Amino acid sequence: MFVSFPDEPYSDSNGDPITLTDGKFYIDRDITLSSNNSLNNPDNLIIEGCQIVVLSNNPPWKIIVEPSAKLNIVPLILGSGNPGNNSTRIFGCETMWGGILNSGGIIDMYNMPGSSNVYTPSSNPTEIEDAMCSN
Protein backbone atom coordinates (compact mmCIF):
# COMPACT_ATOMS: atom_id res chain seq x y z
CA MET A 1 0.00 0.00 0.00
CA PHE A 2 1.25 3.47 -0.91
CA VAL A 3 1.21 6.24 1.72
CA SER A 4 1.49 10.01 1.35
CA PHE A 5 5.03 11.36 0.89
CA PRO A 6 6.13 12.86 4.23
CA ASP A 7 6.13 16.60 4.86
CA GLU A 8 9.26 18.62 5.49
CA PRO A 9 11.63 19.15 7.17
CA TYR A 10 13.84 16.79 5.18
CA SER A 11 16.80 17.07 7.57
CA ASP A 12 17.09 16.78 11.33
CA SER A 13 17.92 19.55 13.82
CA ASN A 14 21.66 18.99 13.21
CA GLY A 15 21.24 19.28 9.44
CA ASP A 16 21.85 15.53 8.97
CA PRO A 17 19.89 13.82 6.19
CA ILE A 18 16.51 12.22 6.56
CA THR A 19 16.43 8.83 4.80
CA LEU A 20 13.33 7.24 3.31
CA THR A 21 14.14 3.54 2.97
CA ASP A 22 12.25 0.75 1.19
CA GLY A 23 8.90 2.57 1.25
CA LYS A 24 5.96 3.05 -1.09
CA PHE A 25 4.81 6.66 -1.35
CA TYR A 26 2.51 8.79 -3.47
CA ILE A 27 3.06 12.47 -4.23
CA ASP A 28 -0.05 14.65 -4.34
CA ARG A 29 1.61 18.08 -4.19
CA ASP A 30 4.86 19.78 -5.17
CA ILE A 31 7.72 18.56 -2.97
CA THR A 32 10.21 21.33 -2.18
CA LEU A 33 13.57 20.65 -0.61
CA SER A 34 14.18 24.00 1.00
CA SER A 35 17.38 25.97 1.46
CA ASN A 36 16.04 26.97 4.90
CA ASN A 37 13.52 24.51 6.38
CA SER A 38 11.45 24.84 9.56
CA LEU A 39 14.53 23.77 11.59
CA ASN A 40 16.65 26.54 9.99
CA ASN A 41 18.74 24.05 8.00
CA PRO A 42 18.91 23.21 4.32
CA ASP A 43 16.96 20.05 3.50
CA ASN A 44 19.02 16.90 2.87
CA LEU A 45 16.91 13.93 1.72
CA ILE A 46 18.02 10.42 0.77
CA ILE A 47 15.51 8.24 -1.10
CA GLU A 48 16.76 4.66 -0.93
CA GLY A 49 14.94 1.68 -2.42
CA CYS A 50 11.56 3.43 -2.60
CA GLN A 51 8.70 3.24 -5.08
CA ILE A 52 7.12 6.69 -5.57
CA VAL A 53 4.08 7.32 -7.74
CA VAL A 54 3.26 10.92 -8.67
CA LEU A 55 -0.49 11.49 -8.97
CA SER A 56 -2.02 13.37 -11.89
CA ASN A 57 -2.53 17.12 -11.61
CA ASN A 58 -2.70 20.19 -13.83
CA PRO A 59 -0.13 21.69 -13.64
CA PRO A 60 1.85 18.46 -12.99
CA TRP A 61 3.42 17.93 -9.55
CA LYS A 62 7.21 18.21 -9.35
CA ILE A 63 10.14 17.85 -6.97
CA ILE A 64 12.04 21.14 -6.47
CA VAL A 65 15.55 21.31 -5.01
CA GLU A 66 16.40 24.85 -3.82
CA PRO A 67 19.93 26.28 -3.37
CA SER A 68 21.92 24.49 -0.60
CA ALA A 69 19.37 21.63 -0.42
CA LYS A 70 20.43 18.06 -1.32
CA LEU A 71 18.57 15.14 -2.88
CA ASN A 72 20.11 11.66 -3.21
CA ILE A 73 18.22 8.92 -5.06
CA VAL A 74 19.78 5.44 -4.77
CA PRO A 75 18.82 1.74 -4.76
CA LEU A 76 18.72 -0.17 -1.50
CA ILE A 77 21.16 -3.06 -1.16
CA LEU A 78 19.73 -5.54 1.31
CA GLY A 79 21.84 -7.35 3.92
CA SER A 80 22.93 -10.99 4.07
CA GLY A 81 19.75 -12.01 5.91
CA ASN A 82 17.69 -10.66 3.00
CA PRO A 83 19.87 -10.79 -0.12
CA GLY A 84 19.16 -8.77 -3.22
CA ASN A 85 18.36 -5.14 -3.78
CA ASN A 86 15.47 -2.80 -4.42
CA SER A 87 15.55 -0.13 -7.07
CA THR A 88 14.31 3.37 -6.41
CA ARG A 89 11.62 4.22 -8.93
CA ILE A 90 9.71 7.50 -9.38
CA PHE A 91 6.91 7.38 -11.95
CA GLY A 92 3.64 8.99 -13.02
CA CYS A 93 0.28 7.46 -12.17
CA GLU A 94 -1.84 8.12 -15.27
CA THR A 95 -0.02 10.97 -16.97
CA MET A 96 3.41 12.49 -17.11
CA TRP A 97 4.57 14.37 -13.99
CA GLY A 98 6.56 17.61 -13.75
CA GLY A 99 9.94 16.02 -13.02
CA ILE A 100 12.81 17.13 -10.79
CA LEU A 101 13.68 20.82 -10.96
CA ASN A 102 17.11 21.83 -9.69
CA SER A 103 16.96 25.48 -8.56
CA GLY A 104 20.59 25.55 -7.43
CA GLY A 105 20.76 22.57 -5.05
CA ILE A 106 22.60 19.26 -5.32
CA ILE A 107 20.98 16.19 -6.90
CA ASP A 108 22.79 12.85 -6.96
CA MET A 109 21.32 9.70 -8.51
CA TYR A 110 23.24 6.44 -8.38
CA ASN A 111 22.81 2.87 -9.51
CA MET A 112 24.88 1.69 -6.58
CA PRO A 113 24.36 1.53 -2.83
CA GLY A 114 23.99 4.86 -1.12
CA SER A 115 24.76 4.13 2.50
CA SER A 116 27.83 1.92 2.12
CA ASN A 117 31.20 2.51 0.54
CA VAL A 118 30.81 -0.41 -1.86
CA TYR A 119 30.76 0.95 -5.40
CA THR A 120 29.16 -1.99 -7.17
CA PRO A 121 26.43 -1.21 -9.68
CA SER A 122 23.01 -2.47 -8.66
CA SER A 123 21.14 -4.97 -10.81
CA ASN A 124 18.01 -2.90 -10.00
CA PRO A 125 18.94 0.65 -10.97
CA THR A 126 17.45 4.00 -10.01
CA GLU A 127 14.64 4.83 -12.45
CA ILE A 128 12.90 8.13 -13.16
CA GLU A 129 9.95 7.54 -15.51
CA ASP A 130 7.23 9.65 -17.11
CA ALA A 131 8.90 12.96 -16.15
CA MET A 132 8.39 16.00 -18.36
CA CYS A 133 11.84 17.29 -17.44
CA SER A 134 14.73 16.66 -15.12
CA ASN A 135 17.31 19.42 -14.78
Q: For the chain, what percent of residues have pLDDT higher than 70?
A: 82
Q: For the chain, what percent of residues have pLDDT higher than 90?
A: 59
pLDDT tens column, 66-87 = 999 999 998 887 665 555 568 8
Strands (E), 24-104: 24-27, 31-33, 44-48, 51-54, 62-65, 70-74, 76-77, 85-86, 89-92, 99-102
Angstrom CA distances, 30 to 6, 46, 62, 99, stand at 12, 17, 5, 10
Cα separation, 73 vs 117, whole angstroms? 16
pLDDT higher for 83 or 133? 133
Domain boundaries, the chain: 3-115
Q: Are 49 and 75 in contact (CB under 8 A)?
A: yes
Q: Is the dihedral of CA 133, 52, 110, 129 positive or negative?
A: negative
